[in-house]
């Protein structure tokens, strides 16, 4: 048997080529309450235009995450950050939403008490992200502010703790 010489063969293009829906999109909005639904609708419309193949429950979770992250930026960073940036990044099998502001404070997820009206935003983001099999974090930006992000798989996770057992 003869072995070929030379460099290894390249993987087929369909395995390495970017999909049409992959990319990075950024938009800014004023740090006002009216920006919350506007950001959510802008993200929903963008993903529909790009034909991102996100499962319905992933899309619902992502839009709620965007709403929570923008709400947090508006409520807690507006004094030092009159404008926020929303960034959506879509890979082959994942999607990431990030909200940046110029406030240096790094938020922490808190479980609010039963009587508390607010205070569950970042905790909810972490729970939604974990349930979807994703990850989230807070990073400092070069300008001294922060970006809070959540990354979700496009397809829901199977076989996790909330999935029903499979019949044998």
Q: At residue 89, does pLDDT exceed 80?
A: yes
Tens digits of residue pLDDT in 9-64: 665 555 556 788 999 999 999 999 999 999 999 999 999 999 999 999 999 999 99
Q: How far are the Cα atoms of 11, 12, 146 from residue 4, in angstroms, in the given order?
A: 16, 18, 52
Q: At residue 157, does pLDDT exceed 50?
A: yes
Are 54 and 154 in contact, with CB atoms under 8 Å apart?
Answer: yes
Are 82 and 30 in contact, with CB atoms under 8 Å apart?
Answer: yes
């Amino acid at each position: 048997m003869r072995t070929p010489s030379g460099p290894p063969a390249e993987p087929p293009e369909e395995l390495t080529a970017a999909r049409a829906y992959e990319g990075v999109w950024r938009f800014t909005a004023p740090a006002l309450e009216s920006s919350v639904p506007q950001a959510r609708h802008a993200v929903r419309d963008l993903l529909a235009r790009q034909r991102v193949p996100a499962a319905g429950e992933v899309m619902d979770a992502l839009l709620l995450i965007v709403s929570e992250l923008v709400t947090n930026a508006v409520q807690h960073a507006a004094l030092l950050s009159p404008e926020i940036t929303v960034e959506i990044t879509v890979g082959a099998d994942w999607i990431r939403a990030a909200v940046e502001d110029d406030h240096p404070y790094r938020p922490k997820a808190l479980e609010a008490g039963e009587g508390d009206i607010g205070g569950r935003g970042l905790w909810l983001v972490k729970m939604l992200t974990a349930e979807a099999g994703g990850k989230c974090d807070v990073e400092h930006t070069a300008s001294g502010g922060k970006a809070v992000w959540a990354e979700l798989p496009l397809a829901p996770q199977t076989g996790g703790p909330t999935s029903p057992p499979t019949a044998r």
